[in-house]
Chain A
Amino acid sequence: MTERSWSALGRKIKPDWRPEHERAVRATIGRRRARRRALLSVTIGVSSALALIAMFAVAHFALRVPLPAPASTNSDLKTAASTPAPKAVETAAPKAVETLTVTQLSPDTVLHPLPEWKGRGYELLAGGARFLVPHDAEHPFIVVASDVVIEDLGTMFTVQYLGADRLRIAVEQGRVGVRTRDTDTNTEVTAGATMDVPTSAPNKKPAAAAAVSSSWRPLAEHGHYLEAHQALRKAGPGAVREDAADLLMAADTARLSGHPAEAVPYLDRIVRSHGDDPRAPLAAFTLGRVLLDELGRPGDAIGAFARARARGGPLAEDALAREVEAASRAGSPARSHELALLYRQLYPNGRRAKAVSKFGGLD
């Protein structure tokens, strides 16, 4: 055989690579990332704790060295000059913040990253948060809370809602610029100072809820399913519009963030309430796959696959094959055998013939 004929033959080798495979791989990588992040957090936490303990130990021993007396007289000055100052005194100046750390101050805190700020911008919708921000003149860090914008100038600060229409900004280290969107006045808050700012939103909670309900979509569209799922869960079921596209996206968000059971009602709504939508068979097929593969409910999956194939189309063959499998797993050998015969009749050279024969008892 020639080089050319091997290449032609090579091009015919193609795996049965479907969107389900893509989604499964992405979901697994998402889970591995989450595990890695958790492990990193634990490692950083333990390291920080050890570093703190070490610092306390050093400080404890350092403070036991007698401090020099105040330099009020010449003789005292001489003594101070001849005695080296203890290290604990030298470290009193604030250290520069090196890594960005964001801490939510209460369970009801709703904080979302602003995607266009690439990790250096957050929107605070409710509650409060503490920010430790390394200063970067080229990439300013901002926090948006209602109509107030807080821009860091290299610092450690807290932003917290005090009520429906009041915001508190407390600066521990460095300084921040505070700007209200309406008046566009810019005020600088320095270390140790606190500033209370009125927010113009008279009723904060509904506004925040609306912002959350709209915020899960861009996260899902960008493939950030874990974050989208958190936002969706906080926003509640009302955040999903009653149209097929929104329901599919919500189902994706639930499934791909590792919560397949929560995808079931969304997919079921598409199948039942939007049966005429061209995406309904795909929703039914996905519903069947979730029920069969991820939730271990083959009995329920049979109906979903039956609906997926009822309207024909490119999924019909796969749906029938998976229906055979579901019936077999649900303990209905007669039904699976009957469906397997139907598959063989409709698709004599079907791609799934091997699996259908196995589950339908045709071997």
Chain B
Amino acid sequence: MSPHLRLASPPRELPADGPLEFGELFARYNRYVATLAARLLGSGDAEVEDVVQDVFWLASLRLPRIVDMVQARGWLATVTTRLVRRRLRRRRFRNLFHSTASRDEVPAPGATAEERAVLSRLYEVLDGLPTNERLAWSLRYLEGEPLDAVAAACGCSLATAKRRVSAARSVIDEVFRDD
């Protein structure tokens, strides 16, 4: 038995449409939200768990407003991005009072040592970027979202999303020019 199955019984198949139930929403998207949070934060474990908890707590309160599973994914991405933004800003504020900012290892279990080094350097660079630019770039390139989805998740216009992605990309391209 795989350790990734539920203890007592496997998750049920989800209906294609109809009213959403919290259990179904959670079963389908908890891993997606955790992965998105890890990519945006560049950290794992407790911080990701906190974000997932906050996202689904809000989802449980707003459930009647979420029409279907397709819409739910976009809604969850937007909420996750907003909560991560708040966390990143808090993290930056905290770092003002520490002489050396410590950073967790990026959770990338399948990555080689070289790739881990690149990721570590990447998140150091991202830590130095404005939060909005960092999130837009991460959604576009690490998460592979199209620009309109980036704009929706960041809560800004398409033009603003393009500008933020472009600004972050110019810095990252500069740092990794030789790689």
Contacts and interface: CB of A to CB of B under 8 A. Distances in A.
A1 B6 CA distance: 40
A10 B143 contact: yes
A231 interface: no
Contacts of B39: 10, 13
B4 A9 contact: no
Contact of A15 (B9, B48, B110, B115): B48
B68 interface: no
Contacts of A318: 3
Nearest to A36: B61
A101 B52 CA distance: 33
A9 B3 contact: no
A221 to B, nearest CB: 6
B35 A18 contact: no
A351 interface: yes
B2 A25 contact: no
B110 to A, nearest CB: 5
A190 B34 CA distance: 55
Interface residues of A, number: 44
A12 B1 contact: no
B3 A282 contact: yes
A351 B48 contact: no
A61 interface: no
Given A3-B141, A15-B34, A314-B3, A9 B118 contact: yes
Interface stretch (B23-31, B69-77, B95-103): B23-31
A252 B143 contact: no
A28 B26 CA distance: 13
A22 B23 contact: no
B108 A222 contact: no
B4 to A, nearest CB: 6
Interface in B25-74: 26, 30-31, 34-35, 37-39, 42, 44-45, 48-49, 52-53, 56-57, 60
Interface in B1-15: 1-9
B171 interface: no
Contacts of B109: 12, 14, 16, 351
B7 A282 contact: yes
Interface in A9-50: 9-19, 21-26, 28-29, 32-33
B149 to A, nearest CB: 14
Contact of A33 (B53, B60, B106): B60
Nearest to A256: B7
Contacts of A177: none
Contact of B176 (A1, A3, A19, A222): A1
B111 A12 contact: yes
Contacts of A285: 3
Given A13-B106, A222-B23, A278-B1, A21 B34 contact: yes
Contact of B57 (A13, A29, A221): A29
Binding site secondary structure of chain A: helix
B144 interface: yes
B49 A248 contact: no
Interface in A294-351: 314-315, 318, 351
B2 A12 contact: no
A129 B118 CA distance: 65
Q: Which of B5, B7, B107 has the most CB of A within 10 A?
A: B7
A220 interface: yes
B57 A15 contact: no
A245 B7 CA distance: 9
Interface string A112-123: 000000000000
Given A6-B142, A13-B38, A25-B56, A19 B31 contact: no
A13 to B, nearest CB: 5
A248 B111 CA distance: 36
Contacts of B143: 10
Nearest to A251: B7
B112 to A, nearest CB: 9
Interface in B107-144: 107-111, 115, 118-119, 122, 138, 141-144
6 smallest CB-CB distances across A and B, nearest first, come from A10-B142, A249-B8, A15-B38, A223-B23, A6-B141, A15-B44
Interface of B: 1-9, 22-23, 26, 30-31, 34-35, 37-39, 42, 44-45, 48-49, 52-53, 56-57, 60, 106-111, 115, 118-119, 122, 138, 141-144, 176, 179
13 contacts: A10-B138, A10-B142, A10-B143, A13-B35, A15-B44, A17-B34, A18-B3, A21-B34, A24-B49, A28-B53, A32-B57, A249-B8, A282-B3
Given A14-B35, A16-B44, A21-B34, 14 more contacts: A1-B176, A1-B179, A9-B119, A12-B108, A12-B119, A13-B38, A14-B38, A15-B45, A18-B3, A25-B26, A26-B26, A251-B7, A283-B7, A286-B7
